[in-house]
Amino acid sequence: MALFDLPLDQLRGYRPTLDEPADFDAFWERSLGEAAAHPLDAEFTPYDAALSTVDAYDVSFAGWGGHRIRAWLLVPAGAEGPLPAVVHYLGYSGGRGLPLDHVVWPAAGWAALIVDTRGQGAVNHHSAGDTPDPHGAANPQAPGFMTNGILDPETYYYRRVFTDAVRAVEVARSHPSVDPARIVVQGASQGGGITQAVAALSPHVKAAFIDVPFLTHFRRAVEITDEDPYQEIVRFLATRHDAEERVFRTLGYFDGVSFAARGTVPALYSVALMDAICPPSTVFAAYNHWAGPKEIEIYPWNGHEGGTGVHRAVQLRKLRELV
């Protein structure tokens, strides 16, 4: 993919006006309050992952609506806790997979909670998921998750996902191997969008690692990229000509730019300038609004894969500073 978005000098200053509902904060306070009415009921079952240096636990907890959410907790074997922890959120269509897929964090001495995304991990991805979405769709939708319940913020799919993700921080904090004061949230693409939201919504996050975030600056994204998953919204609107106002009103409650404006913890972003899936201007829109200390790693010649292993090494070094 060639360079297609704004030049880098313009990206560095790209800071669009926030476009959000007046009751944005009240909506999320109410959503999280409703979830808190359900006991967290976190269960940690030892799991034989055949890893001699990592202890693995099959995790289940109550997310939005009390629905059971699955995760893995990975802890360095024999480590004396409590340990700092990474709560990791997954990319679009991916599931939690197996513990062996996520050993980099415990190899660095950190506990890690790998959070399944409800309803995902069954199609076109190597990592299987284990968490259904019992709520289902509130309106006919384009294939995928982006338009599931999109005509009303109360029923939108990502209301459930973001709430599950905030609850996952509480799960990590509840385990005796984890230091509840040292929780870092991390994810790429969809996981990056979830990370932005959690860092703004949870008071228990120490730092956020946000890579090529999806679910950010929706209006611009759907107007400048032909790639999925944003194109799911375009396909929906192509048949629902009366729904544009309702759709973008709903998305206003879930836009990463608004969450970034409320993020006050240290953040490490990454962006790829040839990324047609999560266009660079959408990433910089959030980064430039981030309200706390921040850094951004720029990968000029990469697409949506971002900085891959090179960037993971940057993150691991940053984690050493946070311990």
Q: Over the stretch 98-110, which tens digit does the pLDDT of each residue have?
A: 999 999 999 999 9
User: Per the residue annotation, which of 60, 93, 189, 258 is the catalytic one?
Assistant: 189
Write down the pLDDT at residue 123.
74
* Active-site residue flag, 275: yes
* Active-site residue flag, 281: no
- Structural domain boundaries, residue 139: 8-322
Residue 26, in any domain of the structure = yes
* Active-site residue flag, 88: no
Task: Determine the Cα–Cα distance for residues 261 and 267; give it in Å rounded to an integer.
Answer: 12
Burial bucket for residue 120 (CB in 10 Å: 0-12, 13-18, 19+): buried
Cα-flanking dihedrals φ and ψ of residue 38, to 5°? Answer: -95, 130
**Short-list 318, 298, 225, 217, CA closest to 260:** 217
Question: What CATH number corresponds to the domain at position 163?
Answer: 3.40.50.1820
Helix (H/G/I), strand (E/B), else coil: 215: coil
Q: Yes or no: say if 92 and 190 are a contact pair by the CB < 8 Å rule.
A: yes
Q: Could you give the number of structural domains in the chain?
A: 1
User: Per the residue annotation, which of 88, 211, 275, 289 is the catalytic one?
Assistant: 275
Q: Yes or no: say if 281 and 274 are a contact pair by the CB < 8 Å rule.
A: no
Residue 1, in any domain of the structure = no
Residue 177, in any domain of the structure = yes
Residue 242, in any domain of the structure = yes
Residue 64, in any domain of the structure = yes
pLDDT, averaged across the chain? 96
Count helices and strands in the chain by DSSP H and E runs: 11, 9
Residue 178, in any domain of the structure = yes
Mean pLDDT in residue range 218-225: 98
The sign of the dihedral angle between the CA atoms of 31, 198, 93, 214 is positive
Residue 311, in any domain of the structure = yes
pLDDT digits (tens, 9 = 90+) for 262-313: 999 999 999 999 999 999 999 999 999 999 999 999 999 999 999 999 999 9
Q: Which long-range contacts (CB under 8 A, 24 or more apart) does 41-48 make?
A: 42/170, 42/171, 42/174, 42/175, 44/73, 44/175, 47/72, 47/99
